[in-house]
Amino acid sequence: MEILLLGTGSADGWPNPFCRCASCRWAADAGQIRGQTAALVDDILLLDCGPEAPRSAMRHGRTLAGVKHILFTHGHWDHVGTMALLMRHWSAASEPLDVVGPRSAIDQCRNWVAPDDPVRFIEVVPGDDVRLGAYRVRVLAAAHGADIGGDAVLYDLETVGGRIFWATDTGPLPAETQAAIAGADFDAVFLEETFGNYTGHGTEHHDLPAFAATVAAMRSSGAVVDTTDVVAVHLSHHNPIEPELTGVLSNSGARPGRDGEVVQVAAAGTSTRTLVLGGARSGKSAHAEALLAAESAVTYLATGGVREGDPEWAERVRLHRARRPASWRTIEGSDAAEQLRTAENPLLLDCLGTWLTARMDLHGVWDGGALDGVHGDIDELLAAWRACPARAVAVSNEVGSGVVPATASGRLFRDLLGVLNARIAAESDDVVLMVAGRPLRLPAQ
């Protein structure tokens, strides 16, 4: 199951566009602009869809044309953007769409579809158990929304690819909800944490102490286990700046979510392979790292190694290391195949271009050596990529669409890397092309 976080902020986002507090200034300066909380699951299912969600999907390289189900948690304006239904109508969409939610949300949507639109409204209350295609949806009570009738709900979403808990907006979970999720062993939990250090807000949202208490209760009941990715969403400027917030949340085994982040969960025994392509400074490495941000232990395979006497390269390496979590293990060198075959933790290979350069060096290709050894190494890498027992992400340069290299060796490298990229892509579950910092998910052949 793939969850793209379209937004991780509160109703006013973080930073608030009209605010100059220290938290908002830091977020703006750091480029951490969070929109209203929503998520896209497997490109098929929307969890909440506020006014900002459709455009956010486009900014992150996704289309909503394949969406078959929209689940609303409640009727507040930042979670129900009815204009999305009109946009869909204007596209002449003919596929059926399920719109699911409590009455406060459904009533707002009914007038935004035409009589002949293939839209089915499903009104739910806590305790309902709904089947939507491949997804089982258990509807749970939230502690939120007295002004809209108190009918806000939370969702326990399960498919063959994993099980997640979508818990926004809510204060400390009602006793019946805690009982319903006991022993759930969620793969990921998206729990709202709106108010940070401000505790005088009432009981319809979490602050940091309440968030910690809720997570502790979920751990005690078996809803959250050591492998659960606990992600704080619906964040506002009442929180401290993100580095401090990250430290506080880590005490609960949680972390702040980020807009555009992709959270991958998988059933036991499954693995995924992702290839991230892009030109120079396209954001490919940062995107690849974000794909594994939810993992506590990652092996970072730095195929470029170190280059003595090259201060510019040393600075590049330093910047890459500085943005990676301290818990990640870095291995320098080009023996990627062995690392892939024996991986016990998720692995990030960055990048195939420097790996190929090292293999060409090893076999003396630049001095007229035969290419047989390089092709053999590529075959070995492909076999290891297919057999990797853990999740794997590889980064590579897209060099075939630029200036034709002036030298024969440059053209040879370009051609070999193009072949390598195509072969790795054919054995990957997902291929992403980064263009100007924006990811474009490439369709399978």
d(CA 23, CA 29): 10
Tens digits of residue pLDDT in 211-258 = 999 999 999 999 999 889 999 999 999 999 999 999 999 999 999 999
Q: Is the pLDDT of residue 267 over 70?
A: no
Describe the strand order of the beta sheet including 392-397 as a list of residue ranges.
Answer: 329-332, 299-302, 347-350, 392-397, 273-278, 430-435, 438-442
d(CA 7, CA 17): 15
Instruction: Tell me the angle at which helices 372-387 and 408-426 cross, rounded to the nearest 10 degrees.
Output: 20
The answer for 357, left when phi > 0, alpha when psi is -120 to 50, beta otherwise, is alpha
Global pTM? 0.68
Structure tokens at 419: 């072949």
Q: Is the pLDDT of residue 268 over 60?
A: no
Across the range 60-85, mean pLDDT stands at: 95
Q: What rounded mean pLDDT belongs to the chain? A: 90
Task: Write down the residue that tokens 């941000």 correspond to.
Answer: 293
pLDDT attached to residue 309? 60
Q: Cα angle at 131 between 125 and 132, to 5 degrees?
A: 105
Amino acid making up residue 87: M
Tens digits of residue pLDDT in 100-112 = 999 999 999 999 9
- Name the strand (E) or helix (H) holding 275: strand 273-278
Q: Is the pLDDT of residue 320 over 80?
A: no
Q: Is the pLDDT of residue 266 over 60?
A: yes
pLDDT attached to residue 402? 67
pLDDT attached to residue 11? 97
Identify the structural domains of the chain with CATH numbers, from first to last.
2-264 (3.60.15.10), 273-442 (3.40.50.300)
Buried b / exposed e along 130-142 (16+ C-beta atoms within 10 A) = bebeebebbbbbb
Tens digits of residue pLDDT in 161-215 = 789 999 999 999 999 999 999 999 999 999 999 999 999 998 899 999 999 999 9
d(CA 189, CA 254): 9
Give yes or no for a contact between 400 and 414, defined as CB atoms under 8 angstroms apart.
yes
Across the range 113-141, mean pLDDT stands at: 95
CB-side exposure of 165: number of CA atoms within 13 Å? 31
d(CA 361, CA 364): 5
Q: Which of 82-91, 400-409, 414-423 has the lowest mean pLDDT?
A: 400-409
Task: Write down the residue that tokens 């630029």 correspond to.
Answer: 402
Catalytic residue among 74, 201, 237, 320: 320
Q: Is the pLDDT of residue 319 over 80?
A: no
User: How far apart, in Å, are the Cα atoms of 425 and each of 61, 62, 288, 386?
Assistant: 18, 19, 15, 11
d(CA 20, CA 3): 32
Sequence-distant (6+) residues with CB within 8 A of 353 are: 396, 397, 399, 417
Q: With the CA atoms of 72, 73, 76 and 78 taken in that order, what torsion angle do they form, in degrees rounded to the nearest 10? A: -70
Q: Is the pLDDT of residue 306 over 60?
A: no
The percentage of the chain sitting over the pLDDT mark of 70, rounded to a whole number, equals 92
pLDDT attached to residue 437? 82
Please confirm, yes or no, whether 320 is among the known catalytic residues: yes
Tens digits of residue pLDDT in 367-417 = 877 889 999 999 999 999 988 888 999 999 987 676 777 788 888 999 999
